[in-house]
Structure 1
Amino acid sequence: MAPVDQEEKTVKKTMKNRLAVAGLCFTLTAGMLTGCSGNSGKAIITLDGQKTEYAVANIMLRYSQAQMQAFYGAYLGDNLWSQYGDSTKSTMMDTLKQMLILEQHQDEYNVSLTDDDKKKIDEAAQQFMDDNDQATLKSMGATKERVARVLELYTIRNKMSNAIVADVDTNVTDDEAAQKTINYVVFGTADTTDSDGNKVVLTDDEKAALLANAQKVRDAAAGGKSMEDAVKDVDDTKTVSSTSYGDNDESYTLDEAIRNAADKLKDGEVADEVITTDAGYYVIQMKATYDPDATASKKERIINERKSSKFSEVYDAWQSAADYTQDDALLKEITFKDIYQMATEAQSETGTESTESTEDAGSTEATEAASETESAAATE
């Protein structure tokens, strides 16, 4: 549903209520508080007979809404929620479903909330209740128990994600991950579109001029100039880029012709000729036939891919076996007429400081956008 219309904004007094959860502050600004508290106790999800309340989903969604409002509100304005409201709700419900299924299987991995977890969750939930007025709490259907439930789910997901991938092989050899890095500059010849939406196609003469410039850069770099200086002397609008690749990579962003030419080079060498591709003319230089930093990054990606694969394998099996139902009609009752925002000092009407929470109590997980369904690779 679209945000409150302009007429309603002028007629109704704008309300700004501080909303603080797990160490983050938000404000609620809207023409009026329209949240349907009458739905709060209704079951929006049933998983193998276990019901999850509408209010739990609503609270989770407001995390996501506030963060998206902070990142994109200034750019999209009133269009933000008319464009992305439905998709935000959909991905948030996928996240909630994942949390509930992971919780259902926590005993299989000896995962539970410690007394310390419970204490910190209780403190964070109480702080939430203390830092928000009754109008804000009512609009969300928020009670201490429901806020604590959200924090419990985030905490359990974090613990389960780590437990599921705990036995993943993290040993990656240099041979498996070795990366080369090249510097390159491209003189593009592909068709483009102008500001009016018209297709722009280069003439043969224009392409020939670009090829000549690329050749000048190649010759200067091969003669001892740095790639940066060689490019600047020919066309100061061009920049030198770099990219890394490995012999064992399953996919490449580089054109095969570029990769083949690069593989013939030693450190510091420039390719003998300009390389022609569908995208344009490339001048390439081998920066390092073995790049330790790029190799270390590749090792991390390989490990994360293994973790993501393991998590997906386990979770997908559980999801397939789950008896899951979702009340889509009730989900439609969650709208974006009330705009939740991250607070600034100027917006906050109280000076109360929000409390800190540890990651195990859900602060890290709870302060991530709930619209993002994370893989285990992101939850270490």
Structure 2
Amino acid sequence: MNTRKRRKTKFGFILIACLLIGVIVIGCTSKSTSIIFVDKLGAKDVFRVNDSVCTLSEAKIYLTNLQDQYESVYGCDMWKTKCGDLTIEDYVKKTVIAQLAQIKSMALFSKQYNIELTQEEKNTLSQAAKEYFSGLSDEQVKDMDITVEDVAKAYSDYLLASKVYSSLTTETNTEVSDDEARVVTVQQIVINKHSLDQSGSIVPSTEEEAKEAYSKANTIYEKAKNGEDFANLAENYSDNDTCELSFGRGKLENSVEKVVFNMENDELSDIIETEDSFYIMKCINSYDIEATDANKEVIIEQRKAKAFDEVYEVFLNGLVSEFNEELWDTVTLGDDGDVKTVNFFDVYNQYFEE
């Protein structure tokens, strides 16, 4: 079991970092943003956003950190495994560039709002950088080609980005009612009206098929109503492999959600019809307090991300970027099975924990 402390996300922009893959790395449809591939970058510069440059050394800090996390869970032999159209290696590399592109962009954004680091923050960053750097082996320092100053710069940009996000979301409404955030736990039986073709696509049901599906659902409903074990019925008859699930509002179809959020513990629903299926629901917990409290935080973060995006996306459209694709293509993962190192964000959180 991996006992490494999970990285904390101090602000919500990491959650939307993948947007930057499209905006900065691959391209953008905005006429005010131009994407230029390797023209003015130095030999060891991975990309530039306006006048802010990300060096290969800085990128390797993030890449090594993420590589360590992946390998601690999945081992060292999965990098060439396909994940959709990409290998896991390519996916991780794109993730790193997206994350760094956003951090660099937000550090630039700080100038518009006169957001700066205090002297105390700079001193603390210096201490954090020394601690992280001291945890690297000589071989890692050589491979990453980094200095303690490189680490301090990476921490500086990250903290600036965090301060920008905090500044732009301070007025976000953080009042979330219990009902808005309420999480319920139910068991379900799903009887599909439709069938699937050889490619797995849904084939719309005929009127006769819909009647047969309802008849089947009604038979199961009568069994449940007469006291037969609901979980057993779900296992034997449901077209959905998931019997028990917990969720908040907005996760299921409206017709199902409307019924579920008005049920009491142990209550059995009537048969609920949607376009594709019939549902029979049994309420296990109409108000999961712990999950509801956690969902409140999720809702608040979603609100903050939305408020931030409204301002930040305008700024993004005015950026010019260059990407040294040829240099980044030379970077590979999995050559060394022992990349374990101190966690870049764990050290950061020790010094800048909320």
Q: Does 1:359 pair with 2:349?
A: yes
Quote the residue 1:166 is aligned against.
Answer: 170
Q: Which residue of 1 aligns with 2:311?
A: 314
1:325 corresponds to: 322
Structure 1 match to 2:133: 125
Q: For 1:97-246, list aligned pairs within 5 A.
A: 97-106=101-110, 108-112=114-118, 113-128=121-136, 131-133=137-139, 136-174=140-178, 176-177=180-181, 182-188=186-192, 190-192=194-196, 214-223=217-226, 227-228=230-231, 240-244=243-247, 246=249
For residues 50 and 181 of structure 1, do their structure 2 counterparts lie closer, same or farther at Cα, with a shift above 3 Å needed? closer
CA distance in 2, matches of 1:111, 1:143: 21
Deviations along 1:147-175, one digit per CA (max 9) or x if unpaired, are 33333333433344333323322012346
Aligned to 1:14: none
Counterpart of 1:253 in structure 2 is: 252
User: What's 1:31 paired with?
Assistant: none
- Shift in Å at residue 119 of structure 1? 1.6
1:359 deviates by 0.5
Q: Residues of 1 paired with 2:236 and 2:330: CA distance?
A: 62
- From the superposition, tell whether residues 154 and 261 of structure 1 become closer, same or farther in structure 2 (CA, over 3 Å): closer
Contact 1:117 1:360 in 2 (8 A): no
Say if 1:261 and 1:44 are closer, same or farther in 2 by CA, change over 3 A: closer
Offset of residue 311 of structure 1 = 2.3
Q: What is the CA distance between 1:219 and its match in structure 2?
A: 2.4
Secondary structure of 2:322's counterpart equals: strand
Alpha-carbon contact 1:182-1:287 (below 8 Å) kept: yes
Alpha-carbon shift at residue 298 of structure 1 (Å): 4.3
One-letter amino acid of the structure 2 residue matched with residue 218 of structure 1: Y
Deviations along 1:318-370, one digit per CA (max 9) or x if unpaired, are: 32233432223332332336346554xxxx9xxx9x9x7350547x8xxxxxx
Distance in 1 separating the partners of 2:162 and 2:337: 25
Query: Tell me, what secondary structure is at the counterpart of 1:282?
Result: strand
Q: Hey, what's the Cα distance between the residues in 2 that align with 1:360 and 1:316?
A: 31
Matched residue SS, 1:325: strand
TM-score (norm 1): 0.61
In structure 2, the partner of 1:375 is none
Indicate the residue corresponding to 2:66 in structure 1: 64
Q: Is the 8 A contact 2:80 2:87 kept in 1?
A: no
Give the aligned residue type for 2:188.
Y
Structure 1's 111 and 280: CA in aligned 2 closer, same or farther, altered over 3 A? same
Between the aligned partners of 2:56 and 2:167, the Cα distance in structure 1 is 29
Question: What residue ranges of structure 1 are gaps of 5+ in the alignment?
Answer: 1-22, 24-38, 365-379
Deviation (angstroms), 1:285: 3.4
Q: Distance in 2 between matches of 1:230 and 1:270?
A: 13
- Higher-Rg member (1/2): 1
Cα deviation, 1:180-217, whole Å, max 9, x if unaligned, reads 665422244543579xx799999999998876664344
CA distance in 2, matches of 1:53, 1:137: 15
Secondary structure at 1:170's aligned position in 2?
A: coil
Match of 2:302 among 298, 301, 305: 305
- Give the alignment partner of residue 54 of structure 1, picking from 39, 53, 56: 56
Gap runs ≥5 in structure 2: 1-6, 8-40
Report the equivalent of 1:95: 99
Give distance in 1, aligned partners of 2:179 and 2:79.
Answer: 50
Q: Please, which moves more after superposition, 55-64 or 172-181?
A: 172-181
Aligned sequence identity (%): 20
* 3-state DSSP of counterpart to 1:321: coil
The alignment partner of 1:109 has SS state of: coil
Do 1:182 and 1:284's aligned partners in 2 also have CA atoms closer than 8 Å? yes
The CA deviation at 1:280 is 3.9
Q: CA deviation at 1:93?
A: 1.7
Shift of 1:111: 3.9
User: Structure 2-normalised TM-score?
Assistant: 0.65
Give the conservation status (yes or no) of the 8 Å contact 1:70–1:341.
Answer: no
Give the conservation status (yes or no) of the 8 Å contact 2:265–2:283: yes
Residues 190 and 280, structure 1, Cα contact 8 Å, conserved in 2: yes
Cα distance change of structure 1 residues 161 and 263 upon mapping to structure 2, 3 Å threshold: closer
